[in-house]
Structure 1
């Protein structure tokens, strides 16, 4: 074999394929690392998103269960609040009045109390006469039905020569801005 062909054969049959293989291996490893790195990141993003979707679905279920309650609360906060409280109080008296001694003796609007919070509100005053347990039952029902009530003042006095009590309540009624 000629010496001048050995150099060409060595260059084109050994060195060039080896150089091409090294370059191809380098490019393949870089692309593989880039793709696998993105795959791991994408997998973590996917798992996070699936967890968030599961939490969102759970919140939607809870929200749909409470939607009726929210509608009731929105109805409580709109309209004439004194009339609503008065009607609910009379309904609670009718429900709680087992011995027929509990009576609403006075119901009127009162002056709006001053608070540091500038939120829409009104005030009302009620006077009740009855036994302690009936008043307690009645007011518990009222305050459970109307969570927008807050007691400002309350005075309780006993009647002379009687087992009945006089209760004077002043409520703040929180309302929606109209």
Structure 2
């Protein structure tokens, strides 16, 4: 998580969250910034490694029955969803075709929620389609959520310290 935050801070120094310049700012990072390509790929592939560790951690928790510690488990589940949301928003930031359509399709899934779905999607988009407002919001949330995740991870560890680990000794 620390490496993700540090590489993300460096990338944020050179990224612009505008629909006209987002893609070219990522290209600029990869081509013109010293070792920018390395930082970008460390950040992107670090997310995959982070998810691998996270899924192994959840699997271990399921195997050893850690879900009996209700509070610790629930904070972990909240952490999982927060990390998934952060990764999704990060996927949208380069603003390529896959990013745009990924944002459109995934956010449109929320429109299936009865009564509030359509309004919720328009609220997330900041308008009637995925556009500049969406990209700006996703960048802001992608920037702030890792710090919230770090704080939640500390709370998760505090609860784990109270209950003890469920690993075999």
Bin of the TM-score, shorter chain as denominator length: under 0.3
Structure showing greater radius of gyration is: 1
Question: Whose strand proportion is higher, 1 or 2?
Answer: 1
Q: RCO higher in 1 or 2 (8 Å CA, sep ≥ 6)?
A: 2
Structure (1/2) with the larger helix percentage: 2
TM-score, normalised to structure 2, is 0.20
Scaled by the length of structure 1, the TM-score of the pair is: 0.19
